[in-house]
Chain A
């Protein structure tokens, strides 16, 4: 079946602009996660959703970052007034439910802020 998909795959934006990154989870997966991976590093947790609610958004680095999920499906991560340090690969994952279920990752969106 279809895996997690993300769009766009690449995004180049100018400093100060807003960007929206989209994630389509595996159908039927109730939990959805966003991570960020800077070049040569491990993944940093940003936020996760259970259904349309976000029980843990502790990883969002600043108030410029926000995320929402609708219809217990698609999620959008929005970064306002982008800065160069926001450049990274943003990875989305989904799992059948929160807890003891493995997370399946999408291909990521590579964001470059110039």
Chain B
């Protein structure tokens, strides 16, 4: 059974700072997805990582995938308030297994 661990679970960071969220998973998966969820809202797709070494960037967010280490990272550069949300990683194919999420709060 695929298990997914994200850390940290909670993260408060100041605007302008950089930080990384880590996603470790227990069994091989070629694909991994990152989603964002705002309170009371559904999930918004951020990145689809389809192969080992994949790196994708969108604005202040950059995601990478190392399938050999079974690790993905989501790096935040120069955080701004509107990045406050819960971020989920989800390795898998049709059946996605979600991590517990990282609740990110950006403080001025």
- Report, as a range, how many residues of chain A touch the other chain: 20 to 34
Are B96 and A103 neighbours in the complex by a CB distance under 8 Å?
Answer: yes
| A-B residue pair count with CB separations less than 8 angstroms | 56
In the complex the two chains form, is B94's CB within 8 Å of A56's CB? yes
Residue contact A102 to B45, C-beta cutoff 8 Å: yes
Most chain A beta carbons < 10 A, residue from B41, B88, B95, B100: B95
Encode A36-60 as 1/0 by CB contact (under 8 A) with B.
0000011111001010000110110
Please determine whether B31 and A105 come into contact, CB atoms closer than 8 angstroms.
no
Known: A42-B100, A42-B101, A108-B42. A103 touches B33 (CB 8 A): yes
Query: How near does chain B come to A48, taking the closest CB pair, in angstroms?
Result: 5
- Smallest Cβ distance from B92 to chain A, in angstroms? 8
**Inter-chain contact B42/A33, CB cutoff 8 Å:** no
B98 within 8 A of partner (CB): yes
**B69-108 toward A: CB 8 Å interface, digit per residue (1/0)?**
0000000000000000000101001111111110000000
Residues of chain A within 8 A of B98, CB atoms compared: 35, 42-44
Q: A28–B80 Cα gap in the complex (Å)?
A: 37
Contacts of A44 in B (CB 8 A): 98
Contact with A along B43-72 (1 / 0, CB 8 A): 111001010000000000000000000000
Q: Which of B33, B42, B88 has the most CB of A within 10 A?
A: B42
Q: Measured between C-beta atoms, what is the minimum distance from B14 to chain A in Å?
A: 25
